[in-house]
């Protein structure tokens, strides 16, 4: 495990490493946190899970919808929307290019197929293209 990279504080590198390890898990499990022992790591997890529920992330989603519209990039649906992280590298200070708006159905379908990883840009683009083709040519469904 490489912990130190040039230009990154050890704390930031640790967080990235931690998240990378976390997202290698096939599913985010509710029982997983209880099995972690190191205090430091538990604090990092709390940071992530509290962020996802935070007003800051809610405001970030609203800002994203305001710029790009609150519709699924695949089906155009506007109900039950979420903003998907194509990359978690800038968690807490996401760039627009890290994010994409998806309906819950397509968001669930994505993670069912690809799981969860630190960086899922290539997978997200492939998924969107594949799903758009299915909508265009329903005979291939």
Burial of 71 (0-12, 13-18, 19+ CB in 10 A): middle
CB of 77 to Zn ion, least distance (A): 5
Q: Does 83 engage in binding with Zn ion (CB under 5 A)?
A: no
Figure out which of the listed residues 91, 101, 103, 128 binds Zn ion, where binding follows CB under 5 A. Answer: 103
Sites for Zn ion among residues 112-141 (CB under 5 A): none
Q: How many Cβ atoms sit within 10 Å of the Cβ of residue 74?
A: 23
What CA–CA distance (Å, rounded) separates 11 from 15?
6
Q: Which one, 17 or 123, has the nearer CB to Zn ion?
A: 123
Query: Rounded to whole angstroms, what are the CA distances from 141 to 42, 75, 125, 138?
Result: 43, 15, 19, 5
Q: Does 44 engage in binding with Zn ion (CB under 5 A)?
A: no
Figure out which of the listed residues 22, 86, 106, 124 binds Zn ion, where binding follows CB under 5 A. Answer: 106
Angle between the N-to-C axes of helices 55-68 and 39-52, in degrees from 0 to 180, rounded to the nearest 10: 40
Figure out which of the listed residues 18, 74, 100, 101 binds Zn ion, where binding follows CB under 5 A. Answer: 74
Please choose, out of 16-24, 26-34, 79-87, 133-141, the segment that lies near Zn ion by the rule CB under 5 A.
79-87
CB of 106 to Zn ion, least distance (A): 4
Structure tokens at 7: 């230009």
Residues engaged in binding Zn ion (CB under 5 A):
72, 74-75, 77, 84, 103, 106
């Amino acid at each position: 495990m490489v912990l130190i990279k040039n230009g990154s504080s050890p704390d930031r590198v640790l967080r990235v490493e931690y998240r990378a390890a976390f997202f290698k898990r096939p599913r985010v499990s509710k029982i997983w946190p209880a099995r972690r022992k190191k205090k430091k790591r538990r604090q990092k997890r709390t940071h992530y899970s509290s962020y996802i529920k935070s007003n800051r992330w809610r405001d970030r989603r609203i800002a994203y919808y305001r710029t790009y519209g609150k519709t699924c990039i695949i089906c155009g649906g506007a109900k039950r929307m979420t903003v998907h992280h194509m990359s978690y590298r800038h968690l807490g200070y996401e760039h627009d290019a890290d994010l994409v708006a998806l309906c819950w159905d397509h968001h669930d379908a994505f993670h069912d197929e690809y799981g969860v990883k630190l960086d899922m840009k290539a997978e997200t683009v492939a998924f969107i293209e594949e799903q758009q083709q299915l909508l265009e040519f329903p005979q291939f469904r």
